[in-house]
Amino acid sequence: MVLSGRRVLVLGLGVSGRSAARFCAERGATVVAADERPARELAELDTLRAGIDVRVGAAFPDVGGFDLVVPSPGVPRERYAGGDPETRPWRSQFHLHRHLAA
How far apart CA 84 and CA 70 sit, in angstroms, is 14
- Please report the pLDDT score of residue 39 as a whole number: 94
Q: What is the mean pLDDT of the chain?
A: 82
- Owning domain of residue 62: 7-101
pLDDT number for residue 92:
58
- DSSP notation for 47-72: GSPTT-EEEESSPPPPGGG-SEEEE-
Is there a domain that residue 2 lies in?
no
Q: What per-residue confidence (pLDDT) applies to 54?
A: 96
The pLDDT assigned to 87 comes to 46
Domain-located, residue 62: yes
The CATH number of the domain holding residue 46 is 3.40.50.720
Give the pLDDT confidence of 40-81 residue by residue, as tens digits: 999 999 889 788 999 999 999 988 889 888 888 888 777 765
95 pLDDT exceeds 70?
no
